[in-house]
A and B are shown apart, each in its own frame.
Chain A
Amino acid sequence: MKITTRKMLDRSFSSFGLFSIVLMILALLVILVPIFKRGSTAIVFNGTVEHRRFLLERFERGDEQEMASEITAIQAAQKPVYDMIEHFENRQRKYLDALNEPLTKLAKRSDSIGRLTKRRLKRLDKNKPFLTNVKTIQKLTDRLKGHVDSDNIQAEIEQLDATIQKIETQTKNLVELKEAIRELLGPAPGETRPVLLRKQYGQTRWDRAQVKLHEVLYIEKWDYSNEGMGRKVFEPRVEHFRGTEIEPLFDYMETNTEAMLRPQLTFYWGFLTDKSMDIHIFGGIFPELLGTVYLTLGAILFAVPMGVIAAIYFSEYARPGIIISFLRICISTLAGVPSIVFGMFGLAFLLNGCHLPKGVLAGSLTLALVILPTIIRSAEEAIRAVPRTYREAALSLGASRWRTVVTVVIPAALPGILTGTVISMGRAAGETAPIIFTAAASVAATLSLNPLQVWDQPTQALSWNIYNLCTEHEAANEIQHVLFGMTATIILVVLFLNLFAIILRARISKKLKGETT
């Protein structure tokens, strides 16, 4: 081959190699950067006063006096809103009261109309919600229309019906508006405290608050006028309230949201150390993080001793033969088995066969099986890579085989074994399928920090909960920051483990080679 051809080939090979590395890094960035960007919003975000109130009330974090003054401020800002609503409600009440007179007149009649009206009017109750009473009368007028036998009251009844119809529509609109405002600002003053935690607070995050504000200002509708696909359209809610006391409310809310919620840049480190409340609507991901740590450490605890002993057997004791080759093939195959199969095995063998409770122990054992082949192979490679001369030296000094393995071979193979272990740890931390049946629970008590108490407790885990919350959570949209936060956390955990492996390996290799002084 000519030297120029060879040079050219050489260059093209190296540039191709470089290109593929660059491509890999780019792909990694394309995946990781958005995840970290969105994941970081779980910790760094514009928090509203509701977030601070939540922290103070539930986690007792924050300054009570400052909070009191903040609450006074937002209440002052919110007052016009609630005032306008109250005026509007009073107006509606007056409209309804005005119907009293014609209705009692109807009730005094002796025919069927009178009897029907009388019966219906008895159902009215001041303590019932306004809308219920409105609906009772609406039903009445609806029925009356069918009973009309003379023309002289037909006009009267139809007018009654039209009036009540209008009141009902307005009241319904108001209820919807109030619900939208409650989602944004939290319960109105004087309202009974809702049971569900998520209804007790307004929006804690400014980005979510803006979404909710949009929902206050606009009504989402579907336009099917086109053939085929429907189209989402937003209709200004103010159209429903033209000419009423509420009309200025929308402008007011749009311009004064900041005053009502007081957003400020928040670093919520508690995301990693707080328990979650109301299924991740509030709070952090500590239970998941702790569950993942327990499961991973448990898996390592079982898999490493077993794996290293198996590797020692394979590389130091076993005589090469059909059985050993067969076992090796089995282990390689095991490494490629889909992890859900391990999950099913854990369910069938550990839970149903051995009657282990669904919990950390069963999950750890299943995960241990998943990572065992990797650990065996990496440990075996590491042990094989130990120079024969080390063994010879130890044996020549009179060491037994076992002693040689323990005092010379294993220490020399330690970097390789540790690397395999830590990389397997990353795998165990990320596995989902093996723990679905054996350990994971979407809602469970936070595990104790005492490892001895947790073996039979089901637990949340990052990997499982990312999946579970994405697919099962009734308000998955509202907790996107939590989902991305979890994803970024698990990626960081794995990255740190791998980084740790690299550093550990470098340090031990250096020590073995005698480069440190």
Chain B
Amino acid sequence: MTQSPATNASSIPSTANIEESQKIAHVTAKDFSIYYSSKEVVKKINLDIWAKKVTAIIGPSGCGKSTFLRSINRMNDLIPGCTVTGDLSLNGTNVYGKRIDITALRKTAGIVFQKPNPFPKSIFDNIAYGPRLHGVTRRPELELVVEKSLRQAALWDEVKDRLPNNALSLSGGQQQRLCIARSLAIEPDILLMDEPTSALDPKATARIEDLISELRGKYTIIIVTHNMQQASRISDFTAFFYEGVLIEYDQTLPLFTNPSKKRTEDYITGRFG
């Protein structure tokens, strides 16, 4: 952190230290912009997000990081007046292409939101909601999926005896893990997390972080966070957004120890934001 930002002038993602076999671009953005009505909130972003890695997106409030995240599985479609330009592809398919099947897209890219948002249904029905949508209807199959997802989300031991109970009776941290399990139940390739721990206490946060570490290598994870310690703890790569612009994108360790841009350094040292 003490090094000069001038040592690395490039804003192009540095991949020098990654082994060749791991360099598979999962999400690719090319000159990708997002507008709310006429306001450009994400400005001409170019980046590759690597498969099976944890990528953190950091930046001050209102910098467009959540907007970008949500655009990956087109959750921004819900916001009236939201339009995009440029290219964004997932697994090589244009996310905003004309023939895209949004249901299939969202099955590929699951999302976990800032506030835990389980349905007001039973724990079982929460997890089974996705599989049911995608055609799994037989009870034994559903039970298998539910158990597998809950185990993956490290929630199984806590809830296995009360699957018929309402999901809202769980604690906040449990609810968030339930939401992760719910996303995992549709077997996505990529897991988008929009500040998943900002509404949780430190203990629950730690559990979620452990969970993310466990999921590392199985899924491509993109996590938006305000918490820089968290980003440094759990991510392989970090992207820094500022006012809709991608300022810097690098492996986490170099970015935090040796940021190439002044703004990045200012932000991670706490001079603003």
Contact = CB atoms under 8 A, between A and B. Distances in A.
Contacts of A515: 166, 169
A396 B166 contact: no
A350 to B, nearest CB: 40
B100 to A, nearest CB: 13
Contacts of A152: none
A407 interface: yes
Interface string B107-131: 1001101010111110000000110
A398 B106 contact: yes
Interface in A204-257: none
Interface in B161-188: 165-169, 179, 182-183, 186
A395 B130 contact: no
B24 interface: no
B228 to A, nearest CB: 26
Given A392-B113, A393-B179, A512 B120 contact: yes
A458 B34 CA distance: 64
A389 B118 CA distance: 9
A512 B179 CA distance: 17
Nearest to A508: B120
Interface in B85-119: 102-104, 106-107, 110-111, 113, 115, 117-119
Nearest to A388: B78
A2 interface: no
Given A407-B129, A514-B167, A398 B107 contact: yes
Interface string A485-517: 000000000000000000000000001111111
B134 interface: yes
Interface string A382-407: 00000101111111111110010001
B113 A393 contact: yes
Interface size class, chain B: 20 to 34
A17 interface: no
B103 A400 contact: yes
Nearest to A320: B80
A514 B130 contact: no
A392 B75 contact: yes
Contact of B120 (A392, A397, A412): A412
A391 B117 CA distance: 10
B64 to A, nearest CB: 19
Interface string B28-41: 00000000000000
A476 to B, nearest CB: 54
B166 A513 contact: yes
B220 interface: no
B120 A398 contact: no
A411 interface: yes
A393 B107 CA distance: 12
A340 interface: no
Interface in B125-154: 129-130, 133-134
Contacts of B169: 514-515, 517
A511 B125 CA distance: 14
A483 to B, nearest CB: 47
Nearest to A408: B119
A395 B120 contact: no
Contact of B129 (A394, A400, A512, A513): A394
B132 to A, nearest CB: 9
B129 A395 contact: no
Contacts of A400: 103
Interface in A73-89: none
Contacts of A516: 166
A336 B271 CA distance: 60
A392 B113 CA distance: 9
B238 interface: no
B73 interface: yes
B182 A397 contact: yes
Contacts of B73: 396
Contacts of A403: 133
Contacts of B134: 398
B129 A390 contact: no
A517 B75 contact: no
A512 B117 contact: no
Given A512-B120, A513-B168, A396 B111 contact: yes
Nearest to B112: A396
Contacts of A399: 103, 129, 133
Given A392-B117, A395-B78, A514 B166 contact: yes
Given A396-B110, A398-B103, A512-B120, A389 B129 contact: no
Nearest to B111: A396
B119 A394 contact: yes
User: 10 closest pairs, A vs B, by CB?
Assistant: A514-B166, A514-B168, A389-B117, A514-B169, A512-B120, A397-B130, A398-B106, A398-B103, A396-B111, A398-B107
13 contacts: A387-B117, A393-B117, A395-B106, A396-B75, A396-B106, A396-B110, A396-B183, A397-B129, A398-B107, A398-B130, A407-B129, A514-B165, A517-B169
Given A398-B133, A411-B121, 20 more contacts: A389-B115, A392-B75, A392-B117, A393-B113, A393-B182, A395-B78, A396-B73, A396-B75, A396-B110, A396-B111, A397-B106, A397-B133, A397-B182, A398-B102, A398-B106, A511-B120, A512-B120, A513-B120, A513-B166, A514-B165
